Amino acid sequence: MADLHSKSDISFAEVFLCSAFAACFAEFCTIPLDTAKVRLQLQRKTAPSGDGGTTGVPKYRGLLGTMVTIAKEEGLSSLWKGVTAGLHRQFIYGGLRIGLYEPVKFLLAGSDSGGVIPLYQKILAALITGALAIIVANPTDLVKVRLQAEGKLPPGVPKRYAGALDAYRTIMKQEGLAALWTGLGPNIARNAIVNAAELASYDEVKQTILRIPGFRDGVLTHILAGLGAGFFAVSIGSPIDVVKSRMMGDSSYKSTVDCFIKTTKTEGIFALYKGFFPNFGRLGSWNVIMFLTLEQVSEENICRGSILRLSATRWSSLASKEEAITTSLPVD
């Protein structure tokens, strides 16, 4: 949903590098929230007690409580576990899904669209690019989840991986190359759906805000639209995200359906929304940081020209039309 420039204005490489940089910066800033989210999603109903038994009290409680517990028990740096793999993921996934979005969107719309592209075609483009990008980036996602889950190992049990690169090598050696694509099914579903949810909600929220007198295409608008996109994306994608995290963090599940059935049977349907608020806190802030960074990078002409910015004149003309031309890029 970048500004509808001619295709020659901004090359794929420039869009890829700008979006990859913005996605990596947002990932680094928000990965403590993602670590807390993963721990909450992987948490079962009971937690181990000091004598080796179990208690009915969950080890992790809420976003801040989980972060504090991790920092106390494992050190502050543990909140950034998996950051290397996370940056690998965002560079590949963020760059591809944003870089491919415009070409796919125009391909679906055809040469006769005149720049006005229906919402359903934008959603379809986001579904396609989200799926294609995560197929390539799935190994990085798997390693990130495995590293983030390391703190859950019982005391005295050695860590499985020394770091991100060691994790790639160990998984391939012990489980085979195909194991790097564990959880690909729910991951494709999750990222395609979240991509589409972010696309539609970001567009609609941003257009609605810009129709309000006094609002312009600036920082406040991007913050509000980013938070709205994050909320809708988490609401729609949370069940798939929980199943994906559990399959990647625990190899005992046979399939996506097996994970879904076991989770709902043993913990109830609301287990699929475990970590909802940390997930929203993370994804909402991720959207805000990514969009603001991408806007700034674009404004400074680091990637030659504005990728996201739409002029105030253009937006005011769009407000009077029934068909709104969208200008935002989808995020994870």
The percentage of the chain sitting over the pLDDT mark of 70, rounded to a whole number, equals 79
Instruction: Say what the pLDDT of residue 317 is.
Output: 42
**pLDDT surpassing 90 at residue 135:** yes
Cβ distance 33 to 288 under 8 Å? no
Is residue 5 a part of any domain in this protein? Answer: no
Is residue 330 a part of any domain in this protein? Answer: no
Rounded Cα–Cα distance for residues 139 and 116 (Å) = 37
Q: Residue 14 belongs to what H/E stretch?
A: helix 12-42
Token pair of 121 as six digits: 């075609």
Token pair of 219 as six digits: 């920082």
Rounded Cα–Cα distance for residues 244 and 123 (Å) = 22
The pLDDT tens digits of the residues spanning 35-47 come to 887 787 777 655 4
Is residue 332 a part of any domain in this protein? Answer: no
Token pair of 81 as six digits: 């576990």
| Cα three-residue angle 13-17-22, rounded to 5 degrees | 150
The percentage of the chain sitting over the pLDDT mark of 90, rounded to a whole number, equals 15
Number of folded domains in the chain?
1
Is residue 102 a part of any domain in this protein? Answer: yes
Which amino acid is it at 171?
A: I
Is residue 86 a part of any domain in this protein? Answer: yes
Chain mean pLDDT for the chain: 78
Output the domain CATH number for residue 115.
Answer: 1.50.40.10
Band (53; pLDDT cuts 50, 70, 90): low
Kindly report the backbone phi and psi dihedral angles of residue 48, in degrees, each rounded to the nearest multiple of 5, phi listed first: -65, 140
Q: Which of 107-111, 171-175, 183-187, 296-300 has the lowest mean pLDDT?
A: 296-300
The pLDDT tens digits of the residues spanning 163-179 come to 889 999 999 999 999 99
pTM surpassing 0.85?
no
Quick one: angle between helices 63-74 and 276-299, nearest 10? 90
**Containing domain of residue 235, as a range?**
12-315
**pLDDT surpassing 90 at residue 134:** yes
Rounded Cα–Cα distance for residues 202 and 327 (Å) = 9
Cβ distance 177 to 201 under 8 Å? no
Cβ distance 161 to 150 under 8 Å? yes
Is residue 94 a part of any domain in this protein? Answer: yes
Which residues make Cβ contacts (< 8 Å) with residue 260, sequence separation at least 6?
239, 243, 272
Is residue 320 a part of any domain in this protein? Answer: no
Task: Give the Å distances, CA to CA, from 168 to 240, 245, 249.
Answer: 24, 17, 14
Is residue 4 a part of any domain in this protein? Answer: no
Q: Residue 47 belongs to what H/E stretch?
A: strand 47-48
Instruction: Say what the pLDDT of residue 315 is.
Output: 36
Rounded Cα–Cα distance for residues 34 and 281 (Å) = 9
Q: Residue 55 belongs to what H/E stretch?
A: strand 54-55
3-state helix, strand and coil shares in percent for the chain, rounded to the nearest 5: 70, 0, 30
**pLDDT surpassing 50 at residue 131:** yes
Cβ distance 191 to 131 under 8 Å? yes
**pLDDT surpassing 80 at residue 232:** yes
Phi/psi region, residue 181 (left: phi>0; alpha: psi -120 to 50; beta: rest), is alpha
**pLDDT surpassing 70 at residue 195:** yes
The pLDDT tens digits of the residues spanning 57-85 come to 778 887 788 889 989 988 888 888 878 88
